[in-house]
Structure 1
C-alpha cells in the first residue's frame, strides 16, 4: 500500500513540475511518476541538507511535497539545459 501512495505522490509532484517547466505536453503519466520520484531523490541529496526538510521518501506532508517539487523542477531544468533548451538554431 505504501508503494501505491508513493507512486501517486510522485505522479502529482511530477505533473506539477512538468506544468511549471512547460514540458507537460511532451510527457505522460509514466514520465511524470519518474520525474516526481527522481526529483524526490535529488531533493533528498541536494536540498534536504540545506533546508532541513525531508522529501516524500520520509513522509507525505505539504513541506515534503514542496521539497520534492523543487527537486523535480531542478531535474527538469538541468535536463532542459543538457538538451539545449529546445531552441532551434539559426543557419
Structure 2
C-alpha cells in the first residue's frame, strides 16, 4: 500500500477511533486524525509482530481492524499523557 493509502486509511480510522472513544481531546479533531495515521502504523506493526499480518492491502478487513485498534491505543495513550499534563499545569 502506498503512502497516500496509509494517510487516507489513517485519517479515516482516526475518525473511527474518535467515534469509539468520544470525549474532549486536548488537541481537537485535527490532532485526532493525525493520531489515526500514527495509530494505523502502530496497528500494522503490532499486527505483523503478534499475528504475522500487516496492513498491506487497503481493502482487507484485517488491515482496517488492525488500523482501528492501533488508533484507539494511540488515542488512549495520548489522552492519558496530555490529560495528565493539563491537570499538572492547571
Q: Same fold (TM over 0.5)?
A: yes
For the 8 Å contact 1:47–1:71, the answer to whether it is kept is: no
What's the offset of the Cα at 1:32? 4.2
Specify the SS of the correspondent of 2:43: helix
- CA distance change for structure 1 residues 48 and 3 in 2, over 3 Å: closer, same or farther? closer
Q: Distance in 1 between matches of 2:70 and 2:5?
A: 19
TM-score (norm 2): 0.69
TM-score (norm 1): 0.69
Q: RMSD value over aligned CA atoms?
A: 2.8
Greater helix fraction, Structure 1 or Structure 2: 2
How many residues are matched? 85
Moved over 2 A (4+): 2-8, 23-28, 30-33, 44-48
What's the offset of the Cα at 1:72? 0.5
Specify every segment of 5 or more residues in structure 2 that has no aligned partner in the other structure, as ranges. none
